[in-house]
Structure formats: C-alpha cells, structure tokens
Structure 1
C-alpha cells in the first residue's frame, strides 16, 4: 500500500490572509492599474496597492518585473521559487552573464518573498528559508564558476583527479544564513575552508592560493553593486583570526585554531554553522570534528557571563543600551530586541547542549521549543519570547522592505513611522508603538534577569527555580558575617574563607574565579548558615571547594543558580561521602539541573536506553565510551543518593534504584565490550546459533538491594553452541574466548580510567570460587550445581538472576538456576550446613558481632536474617511433596530479597508468622539504616562525631519517613531520641532477630566449620 501523495500547494492568491495599508494610496493604485491587465486576479489588489503604496522598493521591483510577476503569482509561490533556484543553477553554464543572472534572480526573489510575507502566504520560516536557499544557490554558482575557470587553466585538479570539481572547497554558512534565518536585506556570513587531505603536501601552498582567488572572486561577484543591483553583501570576517589569515584556509588549520584559541562567541556562532555549498560532505565532516569545541561535555554556566560581556560590548559600541523608546529603537540590537532573544537561547544551548543533542537546533525558534520541552525554559517565558521573536523579525523585514536598506532601527521621523505602521498592517502608528513598547519591555524583563551578573538568574530548569536567598541586613563578608549568621566557631570559619579569597586553593587562583567568589560569598554563607550544623557544613564545603581543579565553572553555576547552594550546603552538612564525591567529580552537579533530577528514577530498561544514547554520541571511540558510562553512573548514583537524603525516595526505592543503575550499565556496556573484543578475536562463538554470553547478578544486585557503594557480585556463563573456536583475525578456542572476554568485561567495568572506576566486581561466587575459570559454560554450571556445589552456593542462588547478555544464554541461565535450586536434598542437612556457615561468618566477624551499627554482620543483623530466609527457602523446597518440581520452585522463586522470602515462607507454613515478622522488621530497619549510612559516610559510623544534620537524615531514613515527616527524633523506629533512640531500636531488633535465627539455625556443637574444603562464603 503506497502512501497518499501530498496535496499540491494552493495558488498564491488563494492563500492570502492579510494585506498592508497603502501609506501613499495614489502610488498603490498606479501600480495596481499597471499590473491588473496581466494579473487578472482582483483578489490581489489590496496586497499590490498596500505593498506598492508603502514600499518604494517593492513598487520599483513591480515595475521592473512586470512581465515576470503575473506568471509567478498565478500558481503556488513554491513553484516560482523553484524556478528562481533552477535559473541560478543553470546560470553557471554562462560565466560571463552569471552576475547579471544572479542579480535578476535576487530581484525576483525579493519581490516574491516580500509579497508572500506581507500577504501572509508564507510564514516567517518559509520567507527566511527562501532567502537562505537562494543565498546557498548563489554562492554555489559563484564558487563553481570560479573553480571551473581555474580547472580550465590547469591550476586546479580536473574532474578526473577530483570528480566533485571542488578541490575540497566548502563555504560554511554562519549566523542567520547557517540557520536558514536570513532577513530581507541580510548580509551572508561565510567561512571558506578546504580539505587539505585532498592534495599532496607539496601542492598545498599553490592550491590554497588558487582557492583564495576563487573565494575572493565569488565574494566580489555577489557583493558588488551594478546597474542590476547586488546579490548578497558577503562578510568573510568570521573566519579564524581574519586580520592575518587569507579568505580561505585549510580545515586542519581552522580546527587547531578553535581547539586552542576559540572563544565563547565563536562557539555560539558555530551553533548555527552549516556546510552550504561546495564540498558539503567535507564541510559537514569538519563541523563534526569541531563538535567538542562547540558543545562542552559539562554544563557550561561560565558561558552566561561571557555572553553578557559580549552583549554589553555590543551595546556600548552601538550605543543601544539605553532606555526603551520606540522612535530610533534598534529592533535587532536594542534592549528587548532580536539579539537579546537569540543570546538568551544560544547561551542556554551552550550551557546544556553538550549533554543533550536534542537542544542543538540551528534556528532560534526550534531551539527555544527544544529547550522548553526539556524544561530549561518555562512555557510562559518561551511563549512570550517566541511571539516576540516572530513579531520582531516581521517588523525587521518591513523596515528593510521600504528601501532595501540593511537597517534594524525604527525611524525617528513621525512620517516614516507612519509608513512602517501602514506596511505592517497596523490601523495607525499609535497602536503599533504601544504594542512595540510592551513587547520590548517584556523581552527585556526576561533577558535582563538572565544575563545581569549578581542577580537571581534562572538558568536551571525553571520549574524548579526559586529566588536567591537574600543577604539583606547581614554583613556581607568577614568574621562579622559568620557571627551574624550564627556560626559557632566564626574564627575558624573566617580562616577558611580567607584561604578562598587569597587564591590559596586551585578553585580561586584566577582573577575571574575570585571575582565570582566575591559576588557569591554572602549567598554561600547564607546557604551554609541554614544547615543543621553550619560549622560542619562550612568545613565540608571547604573540602569540596578545595578539591576542585578549577573554580570558574562551578562558581558560574552557583551564580546562575543560587538555589543550588542550599542543596550543596545540605549535602555538605549531612553527607560527607557525597560532598567528597562532589569535590572529586564536580560535574555530577550537572545532573541536578536536569528536569527529572528529583523525579523517581526510571527502571533498568529506560536507564539502559538513556546510557546507550550517551555511548552512541562517542562514535567508535571505545575508551571514551567507558568514560561516558562512568560519568553517567556517577550522576545517576548521585541523583539517587540526593533523593534518599531529601526523603523523595525511601530506602527500599533507593536499593532498587542503585540496582537499576548497575544493571543498565552492564546491559549497555556488555555489547560495546563484545564488539571491541570481536574486532581482534572474532564474534562470540555460538552467538550466531543462539549462543553467546550471559551475566548472572548475585548478592545485592541480584535481589535489587544495592547501596551507594555496593560492588557487583557476578558470574559469567556462556554457550558456544557447538563452535570450537572463534573466527577472527586471531582465533581463540571457545573456552579461551569467553574467559578473556570475561576479563575484558571486568576491566571495562572496574578499571580506573580518567573518570575512575564504574564498579568493583567480585566473581568469587562462580563455580569453584577462586579456583574456577572466570567464564563457565552453562552446561558446566549445571553439572557443578548437580554434583559439587556447597549448600552456601545453593543459598546464594536464591538471589541470582540473569541481567545482561544474549537472549538464549540468559534464558538458559535462568533455567539452570531454577534447576539447581530445585535439586532436592535433606532439609535437615540444608539447615545444618547453613548454621555451620553462619557460625564461620560470625567467627570471622567477631569484632563487630556486638556493634549495632555493623548492621550486616552483627548478631541478628542483615546476614543472619538472609541466612535464615535463604536456608528456609531451600529447606522448604527440599521438604515439599513436589520436591524439586516446577510447582515448588514457582511458589518460592529465586532472585528474592529476604522480606519477600519470609512472607512466602509464612504463607506456606514453613515459618511461623511471628518469626517471619520479627525477622522482616529487623531486616527493614537495618536495611534503611544501611542505605543511609552508605550514602552519607565513607568508613565506620561513629555516633559520637555524627553531626546534627547527619543524625537527622540517618534517623529519618531509618524510620522510613519522607521529607515531610517531622523527623526521626520522635519516631517509634528510632526509639524517640535521635541517635541514642535509633541505637536502642537497632539493638532491640537485632536481639529479637538473633534469638529467632538461633532457633531456626542452631549453632553447631563442634568447631569443624561448614563443609570441609569449601570456599568461605563471601
């Protein structure tokens, strides 16, 4: 079934929706009467009279093109445009008349677009797109003619050596031309480049000289006024260092310049850059190479100040920064004008476009829409700016239509403004000026707040923005500032702040960083003063700031987002671990500004898709993909940790979230590792026949209970599907291929790159432990668990699940797990072995066995409860009348956490409800405490040194309360007394749970240990 063809565009006259007023009605009637006999379309009269009666330029064009215009307006304007573009392309065949042909085409284009614009036949994008398309066609014709002449004279390679006929020359359209936004009387900004790799090194200088001549000739042909007018004024000054470089330079030279000397305004200019004519493929390749220069990987809030400085220099140079008054106001550069909106949009694109390619449209309106969809601009703000931009651009066109002058300023003479009001279709000048004044002020109100330094800016997602905390009525700096804000040790705090001011830390060594700090210091102190323990928060903030390699970016971020200081202060006060991570990896703060930062973390599938998008942006660079995965995971773990601190997520949700992050990372990275490995040793043996590798998650990842610093307990299984060896540049036997692949996967995840390690990996739970191979065949896994596995290994399988790899082996691995769990043994033997293993673990952890904060290994702690639950599951399967049947295993599924296992055992009568509830309650309380401890601390928890902020978070999370709750100090779970109350609650729960586990898994009478020769359980 074929798709229906798009309907043909309607004729010009049928699409008229408006018409200008005739400022000089007699002139308008004269033009209509001259054209009417040939036009034969009376519905065009208001448009013709209005345009000719208000625009001398359009009136003159109508007279010059009286023979052409009726045919152009008889059909759709798109047809007339296509003919104009085709004529430009055909004109290359006659170099001597090329200039005349292009000028005639430009004249017709100006008339067609002017009438289509004034009549509402085309919207803004269609008008600017038509102008831009003709600019591309004209430049193409001009350089092709010049190239053809040089080729004919033997000065450039002919088509046999260079089939494209371009010698690698390309014009990069910049500014409005690049974005296809040219205005009615616009310059075209071009950068001419050529691809040096197309030529022998010894020919480079001569080739460049010939191409310089071609480019100079093209620019002159397009710009020079003749009796036929001009085509486009052409500006070549946006090239690198234009005062010393020729008008055409090599791409490699340009790339080196931008990478070493490129400035923020050049980055902003290249947002709109587009390969427009000549060797388009080479031009797009160059722009691809320049992408890291344009789009920084981190959120670049320093760009705001840079853009503000550029904006201020333009105002000072042009004298357009004064009060808004419609007469004489510059619609483009003045306050509230077009450039303000463009800067507003482009600066936001520079800030966050490096992280999100969806925010990189060249054109202003699509870019504003993309920023709004992503939450970086509020919908109301976007609607105001978009409407203003559209109206400003249409007004700009009318200003230029009057005399074809490159002007952007409203006339000062009253009669001239009357003319503009008529051409723009207003009923009178007063109505127009009231509307313009309101629009300029509305735009200025938005953009001034964003750019003005030292004011509350809203460059973060605006839905989450808030006004900056005020420092009013408080000393701004010095010892008095700390005393006034309630710091208990102001002298010590002042010494830290003095270090910042003196540039004694890397973050404040530059003048620019110290300038930003001077503006921000009152806000920083305000934010820290609101912490539960301001002095602790200040010490940790100093550690964070001192750990930064540079400070301009982070201080610019705080300047643009004062709200962030509250969150950073909170983290410094309550979570030294997260604060330390911020100091070492400050870019994780970028994640806070994402619109979904405080939303629940998506599941592993969605996270995998997101991470794959990150990896895809790195192209084929394997090392950069590994770094990208680490940056992504840091941001996600940081997000999850902050949500736990803030009470947005509970401890159980945090466990699922941390696990989903790890699972997504494994899923996304495993194919990348396999592809890189296959390039050297061939594809995975058996992968083409339904085989391949599968990764089993064990431990906390398997049961989805990971914490902020959990490592990954993994087993790698494979199925070679009968293939004995790989087929690649270097063939390996199947067993060796998968063993080395497993090692490559371990390195990819655990190796410390420039971005650190992704996760530590523990593979001791694989068959035969440390003595076993790092990759096990699925058949070998089955045989091992059928013949040699210890009880503790079978217990570990209750939390196992396949999380990554090829579909066939993953399904086979799941079946093998179920088969191993279902192998019936004596229930008494299972419980006895579990009790013996518990005793061995208790002996190894004797020092912390009575420490209530060592919640994993303390008597009655998490490991005790998990031993009881896992042994109970296996013993129930063993005692089931169905034995190892599917029915029994389905009733007690694997990959379960302890609470689910205990509920299942109670429901089946394999454990009393009272015992199950006692163990589940102890597990829940200690799991919540563990999640809080792992997020906030590195190392052992000391109740004596825990600050008030950390105490509050720990007690609240342990109590299972959300951010709106009153706090754990009065909660039952914490015993009603902060840390002492929580400690008492932990001891009581551990004692009760320990008694239950002692009954279920009685300690053995001898000290022989579990099963002689077995690896101790990890």
Structure 2
C-alpha cells in the first residue's frame, strides 16, 4: 500500500545509459519542468528507443500528469474509463490505452520502479481488459441483431456463455513488452439446447471480429496481435468451439504440449465462471494421477524440433542469439519448470502454479529442485526477460533475437545500463549457466523407431513392397522416412489394427506413390489426417486412394476455413471453368473441383467440425453450385451446334433432397427440366432442332455432363423419375404441359414431390413463373379427403417395397426418415404451404391444425436422430447401417454425432423415437383407403 501511495520519482532506482546522447539531451530538455530524475530517465530512455521517444512526443501532456502520480494510480486511470466506451469507440480507446500503458510500464521497468512481475502483470491487465470488453460488446451486438438464439440484453454481461481463455504468458500474467496474446475461445453449449449451431456461428463471428478489433493496425496503432492457434486441433477447428467439443478432443487425442499449455490457462474475458468450470473439467487431462515421466521425452523432442527448425544449435554467440528459444534461453527455464509440474502435479496440487517463478518455488518447496538451483534459475529468468523487453522496446518489435551487429548489441547493453563488454560477459555467462542447469534433465533416450508391430501387422506392412505405389525407388526412399510417423499415428487410433487395415487399403489403391508420399513428407500434418480417416472411415480412405489429388486442397490454405456458401462456390467454379477453352477439360475440371469440396465436407464432418445437418447443407450447396455453374457451359456447347435455346429457354429444378437443400455423402440428384419455347418451333443454328427435341437433347447433355465417367470420374448420379409421367414422360417438359399435367393428371405422390421442388438454374423469369405455379398448385390440391387416403395407401406400398433393413435402419420403415418426410410433405400440401424442408413443413402442419405441437416434437425427434445416423453411416460405408461392423473409430464417430454413451443406449433411443413417430403418423393418416394405379410403385421407386 505504501508503494502505491508514493510518487513515481521517489521510487526510481536506475536508468539506461543513453545510446544516442543528442536525442537524450533533447528529450530531457523538453521535460525540464519535471523532477530532474524523471527528466533524466526520459532522456536516457529516448536515447535508446526511437519507439518510446515517439510516444513521449505524442503523449507528452498525458505523460506529465501520469508521472506526477504513483504508477499504480496512473495505470488505473488508463484502464478504468475503458468500461464506459461503446463498441464504436472501443477500438480507438483500446489503442490509446495500449500506447499509454506501453509507455508507463516501460518507464516503470527501466527506472526500477516496478519489478519484472509487476511490469508483466500490468501488460496482462490491459490484455485482460481489452479481451473482456471486446467480447462483451461484440456479443451484445450479436444479441441486438437477433443472431444469438434466445439471448437477452442481460446475457451480454456474461458474453452469452462465451469465454476467452488466456494461454501462455498471458494466462500466467507474464506478458512481455510486445507480446502476442494467445487465446482459446469457447462457448457453453448447455445454454443453447437444440440451437448450438446457430450459437456457434454467432460466436465464431464474435471471435473473428474481436481478433480484428484487437489486431488491426489503424491510425491509433494496434492493441494486441491475437493468436488463436492453441485451440484444439487448430488446423481443422473453427476459431470458437463448444466446451463439450474441446473437452472431448483433449480427452481423446490431447498431446503433452497441450497439457503444458493448460498449466497457464486462465479465463480472462466473457463468462469467467463457465471458463473455470471448463478448466476444472480438464484437470484429469492436464494433471495425470501417475508420475508422468513420458512428458520428459516429449518436452525434449519439442526442444530439439524448435532448435532444428530455427537453426539454434551450437555455441552461444551474442549477435543474433534468440533469447527465447536459443540455448540457455527463456524457453529452457519454462520447459524445465512445466515438465516437472506435469510429472508430479497430478499427485501434488500445490505444484499447479501458473507462473514460472511461482512454479519453480513450489517445486523447490516440494523437494523436486534444490533451493539454490531454484533461486539461480529465477535470477536468470528475470534477467533474460528484462533483456527481452529491451529488445522489444527499441522499435515495438515482436522479437526475441539479439541484434546481428555489434552496434545493435551495444544499444541493448546501454538500454540495460551496462557497458558493452560487461553486458556481453554477463549475458554469455547466464545463457551458458542456464543451459548447464537444464540440459541434463532433458537428456534424450533412445531414438524412437515407431511402435512395435504384432505378427499380423508385420505381415501387412511387409506386403506393402508389392503395391504399385512402391514401384519407383524414389517412392520407397520417401516412404522409408515417413513410415515411423505413419505407424505411430495409426497406433494412436482407437483400434490400431482396424486403422492399419484401412491404411493398407489406401496404399493398395494408389496407382503411384512418389507424388503423394512427397506431399506427406513436405506436410507432416497430412499423415495425421490420413490416419484419422483410416481409423474412422475406411470408405473415405478408399475414396482418397482413388482421388489423392483432393489433398492438394488440404494444403491450399482454405481447407479449414468457414463454408463459403452457394454464391461464392458458383463464382469460384464459374471462374475456373472460364479459364479452360475445351468442353471436356471443363467437365474434368468441374469433377476435380467438386471432389475437393466434397472431400472437405466429409473430413469436416468426420472430425466433428460440423454436424450431420451442417454437412447436409454443405453437400446440397455444393451440388447446387455444380448444377448452376455447369448449366450455362452445357447450354453454350449445345448452342454451338444447334443454336440458342428457343423462347425463354429452360429451367433446371432440384427435386427431393436437393430441392430441400439437404444431401448426404452418397446422395444422387433428383432433377427435372421445364422449358418454354414461346411458340418458336425450332432453334436457329448450324443444325436446327425442333423445340421439343432441342430441350430433350439439351437435358440429356446436362445429365451426361454430370454422370459421364471421365478421367476425373463422375460428378453425380442423376435421377429424373420425378418428372411428369416418370420414366414414360419426356425428359424435358414444356411449361404449358407441366401446368396442365399438374392440374389435371398428376397423382397425389407427384403433388407431394412438388412440395420440395426448387428452381436452380436457367432463365430467371421462367424460374419465377414456375415457382409461382408450384405455389398455386399446392394451394389448389390441398384437399384432405383425397390426399389422406392416397398417402395412406402410398405409405403401405412403400412399407412393402422397402422394409427396414435391420434394427439400425434409419431410412426405410415406420417412423423413420422416409416415413416422416412423407407426412411432412403431406402437411405442406394440405396447408398449401411452399415450405420445402421437413422442419418447416411440419411447422406448416401445426399452423394449419393438421398436426399438434406434441406430434411435431415426436416427429422431429425421430427425424433428427435418423438423419444423423443416415448421414453419418453414408460417410462411413455403403448400404444399410451395420453398427457392429463399422469398426471402433466409425462407431465412436456415430456415437459422438448423436451424443450417445454407447451402442445399447443409442439403439434404445432409436427404437423409442421411431416407435413414437410411427404412432403419430398412424394417427394422422388413418385407415389405408383409396388408391391410384401405379402411384405406390412409383413413389417406392
């Protein structure tokens, strides 16, 4: 308390030596009105740091007032008013606060007013304040715009359940002078039951906006460079994820370095209580109950990798030495401390101190480190951190590296208040002493050669030499380097034997190995990705062996970014096709492009970055983009021979699941084509065609463009049986014929199909007229006395034609996907409602009185569970779901997708929900009376 009441000048104990005397004299003279000791400190500081000299000029008036107080009061005066700033003013306000805090803490540090821990604590206080205010203001803005489901203005005080965890030096309160802030952003998903995806999307936006608010350089400067890469599996996860997802990751695949990172983790912004609950749940991951000596080898390997990557081996040379990562540097002391904490902290909670100095003292008190070694390391640590701060103060640079010139080193020596010779001698002695104190602890063991293999595994591995991928010596040489890492990655799978067998299938399917192995060699994370795929989805692994080129997209930089949406996908594919002059090359390029995006959706779903419903939308967006971008290419190629489309041309409609915007990994495309020649009898081109044959052949050309097997495979299977008169009708239908058919001839099942029809590509005016006609017909045909008996009979025929394939069946059978979809379409038809998706169709049924809210709830519960099972199983295998034969990784994926603890619980839930849904459907459709010849057969088809 006494220190807080005394003035800045009264507490000065040291100052730098001015490296640029003239600058020092000028600045001291400009502050001659201050206490001479303060003016001397300001001058000496300005003589060493151009950056701080500039801040003194810019903030002169504020600085005079600040230095007249105790530094603690001056810091409060910077930080406290920030809470009154609205969002629009927060960015500039934080930037002004940042430069004032930087100047104040620098002078308190250089003048010996504050010890190291107080300096780093002050910098961390600013980071905490900035993060907390940014999160709360941005979440409040999401709530104001109605983007955070169910949240009220009061929820902004806890950031709607979102929390930022401070990691690394920020978490420990040890930020350096020009530090990044490492954050992990999470949200409490329990606050958003049934609405987690909408909430996650809002919190991802908040995180991105927060990063920009803090990191962007403006006329007022920047606040903090923000690094989000310490989150779980950062290469593939969104910037903000649920606490449940993060906890699941750490429990299953968390690594030693992540455990070390969480020693320092601390909630710093947003919902601090939720953050504390999350960290409490993570205690078993970070702090193992047994003495964890494996952490020593992991930490040693990490040190060596850092040194190898940065070329930091060899004797200490002052010029260019890395004070953080180099020999005897700061990181050596941190690793030395954290590794011991990991070894023993599970049994001794007293060792779980976030700070480096506190951790060393706790270890010493517990007998893990001799007291004299502890105090010596603390002394070296503090001295290293002060040198690091002065390196950064010169130009506000994010650096830990000594200058490479003698003059540069001399400046740092002066900044530290020492002559060059004394500084060099002392620094070299400290670095070499830290190296000696820490190196013995990290003595490496035997080099790892990969896991021991069982006899069956050895047989598989030995058989690889005969595969086509190993025909060239170059492939063999590259793979020899990769093999230990591959086997180690596979050994981490839930069932290593299953993963190895799937990887064997992947290798066996490769036509050649050099390119793919070289890709793995240059991008080691790909090996882990392949291992994950093999451990979960042998089907996707086989797909990858036939389409290995899709991995190019993984290393292209955007593979794990947010989903772009249909318009952006259409633009991207259109631009790519426009670059190619040849029609067949366009079709091949479309195939390759689609497969890259299709693979991306599958990987994101497999890794839990998106769920089955997000994947369904993305697959549908992708299919729509292909149709929209490819249709004009096909039309242009066709017009080259036969002239432009007669009249208003044609429109491609998506039907079924495509029309509803919800596909799975194996879906085909239901399409129909409607045209309007407006009385034009034939086309005008080199080889004219009559209007009907023109559109029929154009439609066939489009189907061929989508389905033909080419060098890059095929795009999609296409089903056109939902057109008027099914297989017997023309492949393209005139608008007038379509109108009269729907009103006079169509069967009830065709009107049901119309509930999900959606124009995708073609003439916009014609598309609008078709949509208007669709809505008219739905209203006209909403006759319950006719519809309900027809649907009941249709349901009976479907049940006979497609019975359930077993207890795990999700698609066919009473109360399952097709059954619920049938009732949803019926509800939309009876309500004359244009809704296309199951959820909106059922809601229309409630509004019309056809369904009750309780009925809707039971149907949706069954539908959602069945969709998750169906979509997940189609990613893993072909045909009906056989849970027991999926493999351990596949079963774990499905259980995670549906949030079930085990297979028995999932099966019980499935039976319970489909039984309830079937009862609801039985009650709505009534007795199976009335039929129209052929309708059940065609509906079943």
TM-score range, shorter chain: 0.5 to 0.7
- Secondary structure, counterpart of 2:521 in structure 1: helix
Q: Distance in 1 between matches of 2:409 and 2:578?
A: 51
Contact 2:671–2:718, Cα closer than 8 Å, also in 1: yes
Deviation string, structure 1 residues 411-446 (Cα, Å, up to 9, x no partner): xxxxxxxxxxxxxxxx999549999xxxxxxxxxxx
Aligned to 2:720: 763
Q: Distance in 1 between matches of 2:804 and 2:410?
A: 81
1:493 aligns with 2:454: no
Structure-2 change in CA distance of 1:516 and 1:430 (3 Å)? same
Contact 2:778–2:834, Cα closer than 8 Å, also in 1: no
Aligned to 2:882: 942
1:507 aligns with 2:463: no
**Runs of 4 or more above 4 Å deviation:** 322-326, 427-435, 471-475, 1008-1014
Displacement, 1:931?
1.0
1:730 aligns with 2:687: yes
Aligned to 2:818: 863
Aligned to 2:697: 740
Contact 1:651–1:927, Cα closer than 8 Å, also in 2: yes
Displacement, 1:1016?
3.8
1:912 aligns with 2:867: no
Aligned to 2:563: 601
Contact 1:857–1:864, Cα closer than 8 Å, also in 2: yes
Count of residues paired in the alignment: 517
Residue of structure 1 aligned with 2:928, choices 980, 1004, 1007? 1004
Residue of structure 1 aligned with 2:613, choices 633, 645, 652? 652
Displacement, 1:812?
1.8
Aligned to 1:983: 907
Residue of structure 2 aligned with 1:836, choices 793, 809, 827? 793
1:542 aligns with 2:504: yes
Structure-2 change in CA distance of 1:493 and 1:474 (3 Å)? farther
Q: Distance in 1 between matches of 2:656 and 2:897?
A: 23
Q: Distance in 2 between matches of 1:994 and 1:979?
A: 22
Aligned to 1:852: 807
Displacement, 1:876?
2.9
Contact 1:833–1:1011, Cα closer than 8 Å, also in 2: no
Aligned to 1:482: 452
Q: Distance in 2 between matches of 1:828 and 1:582?
A: 52
Contact 1:827–1:876, Cα closer than 8 Å, also in 2: no
Residue of structure 1 aligned with 2:834, choices 893, 896, 908? 893
Deviation string, structure 1 residues 893-934 (Cα, Å, up to 9, x no partner): 23x211121123223433111111100111011111111111
Aligned to 2:517: 555
Deviation string, structure 1 residues 275-296 (Cα, Å, up to 9, x no partner): xxxxxxxxxxxxxxxxxxxxxx
Displacement, 1:681?
0.7
Displacement, 1:784?
0.6
Q: Distance in 2 between matches of 1:531 and 1:325?
A: 42
Structure-2 change in CA distance of 1:679 and 1:521 (3 Å)? same
Displacement, 1:673?
0.5
Query: What is the TM-score with the length of structure 2 in the denominator?
Result: 0.52
Where do residues 655-670 of structure 1 align in structure 2 (5 Å cutoff)?
A: 655-670=616-631
Displacement, 1:853?
2.3
Aligned to 1:628: 589
- Secondary structure, counterpart of 1:858 in structure 2: coil
- Secondary structure, counterpart of 2:880 in structure 1: coil
Residue of structure 1 aligned with 2:745, choices 788, 810, 832? 788
Displacement, 1:980?
2.1
Structure-2 change in CA distance of 1:433 and 1:808 (3 Å)? same
Q: Distance in 1 between matches of 2:568 and 2:557?
A: 16
Aligned to 1:674: 635
Where do residues 47-86 of structure 1 align in structure 2 (5 Å cutoff)?
A: none
Displacement, 1:720?
1.2
- Secondary structure, counterpart of 1:944 in structure 2: helix
Displacement, 1:819?
2.0
Aligned to 1:120: none
Contact 2:457–2:500, Cα closer than 8 Å, also in 1: yes
- Secondary structure, counterpart of 1:846 in structure 2: coil
Displacement, 1:951?
0.8
Q: Distance in 1 between matches of 2:782 and 2:867?
A: 31
Aligned to 1:275: none
Structure-2 change in CA distance of 1:704 and 1:472 (3 Å)? farther
Contact 2:793–2:936, Cα closer than 8 Å, also in 1: no
Q: Distance in 1 between matches of 2:684 and 2:404?
A: 80
Contact 1:712–1:759, Cα closer than 8 Å, also in 2: yes
Deviation string, structure 1 residues 823-853 (Cα, Å, up to 9, x no partner): 14531210111111111110101363xx232
Structure-2 change in CA distance of 1:434 and 1:527 (3 Å)? farther
1:639 aligns with 2:566: no
Q: Distance in 2 between matches of 1:429 and 1:748?
A: 64
Structure-2 change in CA distance of 1:729 and 1:996 (3 Å)? same
Q: Distance in 1 between matches of 2:867 and 2:410?
A: 65
- Secondary structure, counterpart of 1:803 in structure 2: strand
1:874 aligns with 2:829: yes
Aligned to 2:736: 779
Q: Distance in 2 between matches of 1:559 and 1:909?
A: 62
Contact 2:754–2:774, Cα closer than 8 Å, also in 1: yes
Structure 1: tracts of 5 or more residues without a match: 1-321, 327-386, 388-426, 436-470, 484-489, 878-891, 960-967, 970-977
Contact 2:831–2:844, Cα closer than 8 Å, also in 1: no
Where do residues 217-616 of structure 1 align in structure 2 (5 Å cutoff)?
A: 431=407, 473=446, 476=449, 481-483=451-453, 490-500=454-464, 503-616=465-578
Q: Distance in 2 between matches of 1:958 and 1:596?
A: 28
Contact 1:790–1:1014, Cα closer than 8 Å, also in 2: no
Displacement, 1:862?
0.7
Structure-2 change in CA distance of 1:1012 and 1:705 (3 Å)? closer
Aligned to 1:189: none
Structure-2 change in CA distance of 1:725 and 1:531 (3 Å)? same
Aligned to 1:40: none
Structure-2 change in CA distance of 1:556 and 1:863 (3 Å)? same
Deviation string, structure 1 residues 673-725 (Cα, Å, up to 9, x no partner): 01111111111112xxxx11101100110111100110000000111122111
Aligned to 1:922: 862
Contact 1:600–1:649, Cα closer than 8 Å, also in 2: no
Q: Distance in 2 between matches of 1:816 and 1:617?
A: 38
Residue of structure 2 aligned with 1:993, choices 912, 917, 922? 917
Structure-2 change in CA distance of 1:819 and 1:504 (3 Å)? same
Contact 2:870–2:881, Cα closer than 8 Å, also in 1: no
Where do residues 672-751 of structure 1 align in structure 2 (5 Å cutoff)?
A: 672-686=633-647, 691-751=648-708
Displacement, 1:622?
0.6
Deviation string, structure 1 residues 848-867 (Cα, Å, up to 9, x no partner): 3xx23221112110111111
Q: Distance in 1 between matches of 2:471 and 2:315?
A: 40
Q: Distance in 2 between matches of 1:699 and 1:722?
A: 31
Aligned to 1:293: none
Q: Mark the structure with the bigger radius of gyration.
A: 1
Superposed CA RMSD: 2.9
Structure-2 change in CA distance of 1:826 and 1:554 (3 Å)? same
Structure 2: tracts of 5 or more residues without a match: 1-312, 318-394, 396-402, 412-443
- Secondary structure, counterpart of 1:757 in structure 2: coil
Displacement, 1:522?
0.7
- Secondary structure, counterpart of 1:543 in structure 2: helix
Deviation string, structure 1 residues 262-315 (Cα, Å, up to 9, x no partner): xxxxxxxxxxxxxxxxxxxxxxxxxxxxxxxxxxxxxxxxxxxxxxxxxxxxxx
